[in-house]
């Protein structure tokens, strides 16, 4: 399945608050669809699928990309679910979003792919680039790039910058001081259900 390009609010209504996907809030309290108002006990598989979809839509991943990240997380010693979240949080597009340089992850993906971002003084246009502790993120020294970022900084997507990131607003320079802790992941998610979902594949 390719990246989702349909109505974001519909997905947010279905899966709950997805800060990376959209900032809009629906006035409707029930899920979308003909049977949205009917309540029935969900199966174990449907719960796992829902958590997986939350992860996929929030970070803007295709099914193939998410599966690849799951396989990478399983190779690392430790809790697969937490390692998976750390891999996704350390993506360049998500890091730009968490720094407040873009209102959503799709917007930060556009900023990266359009060549506005430098990592360690090198232009990086790959959204899935894995940031590492010690990396320095700066804005391309071009008026259009700087104005775009300054405009986004006035209304960031999330109120707080995670403790592993550091941003100097006057110089528009950011530093990655470490790997994100589980408590700072903004998405409300049970990552164990995602791991269980992919364990059958």
CATH code where residue 21 lies: 1.10.1050.10
Show Cβ contacts of residue 140 under 8 Å, excluding neighbours closer than 6 positions: 115, 116, 117, 118, 123
CATH code where residue 128 lies: 3.10.290.10
Residues 103 and 61 sit within 8 Å (Cβ to Cβ): no
- pLDDT tens-place string over residues 127-148: 999 999 999 999 999 999 999 9
- pLDDT tens-place string over residues 144-199: 999 999 998 887 667 688 889 999 988 999 999 999 888 888 788 888 988 888 88
CA distance 100 to 152: 7
From the number of C-beta atoms within 10 Å of its C-beta (0-12, 13-18, 19+), residue 179 rates as: middle
**Residues 18, 66: one domain?**
yes
Is 3 a member of any domain? Answer: no
Is 1 a member of any domain? Answer: no
Tell me which residue of 60, 35, 194 sits closest to 127, measured CA to CA. 60
CA distance 138 to 174: 6
- The helix (run of H) or strand (run of E) holding residue 165 is strand 165-168
CA distance 164 to 117: 19
* Rounded to 5°, angle at Cα 68 from 187 and 119: 70
Q: What percent of the chain has pLDDT over 70?
A: 78
Is 69 a member of any domain? Answer: yes
66 three-class SS: helix
- pLDDT tens-place string over residues 86-121: 999 999 999 999 998 988 888 899 999 999 999 999
**Residues 120, 55: one domain?**
no
Look up the domain containing 188 and give its range.
8-87+184-199
- Residue 15 pLDDT > 80, yes or no? no
* Number of separate domains in the chain: 2
């Amino acid at each position: 399945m390719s990246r989702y390009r349909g109505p974001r609010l519909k997905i947010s209504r279905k899966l709950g608050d997805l800060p990376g996907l959209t900032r809009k809030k629906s006035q409707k309290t029930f899920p979308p669809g003909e049977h949205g108002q009917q309540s029935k006990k969900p199966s174990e598989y449907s719960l796992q699928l829902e958590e997986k979809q939350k992860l996929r839509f929030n970070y803007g991943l295709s099914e193939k990309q998410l599966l690849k990240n799951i396989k990478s997380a399983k190779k690392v010693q430790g809790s697969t679910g937490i390692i998976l979240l750390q891999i996704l949080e350390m993506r360049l597009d998500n890091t730009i979003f968490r720094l407040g340089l873009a209102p959503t992850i799709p917007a930060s993906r556009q900023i990266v792919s359009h060549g506005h971002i430098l990592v360690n003084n090198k232009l990086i246009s790959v959204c899935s680039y894995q940031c590492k502790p010690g990396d320095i993120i700066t804005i391309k020294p071009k008026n259009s790039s700087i104005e775009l970022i300054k405009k986004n900084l006035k209304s960031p997507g999330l109120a707080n910058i995670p403790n592993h990131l550091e941003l100097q607003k006057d110089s528009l320079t950011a530093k990655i001081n470490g790997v994100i802790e589980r408590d700072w992941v903004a998405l409300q998610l049970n990552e164990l259900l995602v791991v269980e979902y992919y364990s059958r594949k």
